[in-house]
């Protein structure tokens, strides 16, 4: 079956702009989590959505937000971009029952 799909793969934005990233989970998975990967901070949890509700949230400022649609697809939005937001953003989908978290290829965001 198809894996986790993230679009776009690459983005370049200017400071102050906003950006929206998309994640389509594996068919049948209702949990979608987002992670930020940077050389300095490593992999950090942003938030998790389940059945269109944010279930958990990491320690990121309110500029980082997300949502999930009825088909389980999720979007992540970052407003007022800062240079430090440059990172690889990874999305993971998880079965309703089960512990495996499957990751997409990520969206590499560069803020200039």
Residues that bind another protein (CB under 8 A): 4, 6, 31, 33, 35, 42-43, 45, 48, 55-56, 58, 90, 92, 94, 99-106
Quote the CA–CA distance of 79 and 93 in Å, as a whole number: 24
Q: Which is nearer to another protein, 4 or 87 (CB)?
A: 4
What tokens were used for 100?
């495996």
DSSP lists the bridge partners of residue 50 as 31, 53
CB of 90 to another protein, least distance (A): 6
- Give the shortest CB-23-to-another protein separation in angstroms: 11
Complex with another protein: residue 20 or 37, whichever CB lies closer:
37
DSSP 27: T
Q: What's the CA gap between 92 and 112, in Å, rounded?
A: 27
Beta carbon nearer to another protein, 14 or 59: 59
The β-bridge relationship of strands 87-94 and 31-38 is antiparallel
Query: Looking at beta carbons only, is 42 or 62 nearer to another protein?
Result: 42
């Amino acid at each position: 079956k198809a894996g986790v799909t993230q679009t776009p793969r690459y983005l370049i934005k200017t400071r102050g702009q906003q950006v929206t990233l998309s994640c389509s989970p594996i068919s049948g998975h209702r949990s979608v989590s987002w992670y930020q990967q940077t050389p300095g901070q490593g992999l950090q949890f942003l938030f998790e959505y389940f059945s269109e509700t944010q279930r958990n949230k990491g320690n990121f400022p309110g500029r980082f937000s997300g949502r999930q649609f009825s088909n389980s697809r999720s979007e992540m939005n970052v407003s007022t971009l800062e240079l430090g937001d440059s990172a690889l953003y990874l999305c993971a989908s998880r079965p309703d029952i089960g512990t495996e978290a499957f990751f997409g290829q990520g969206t590499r965001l560069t803020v200039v």
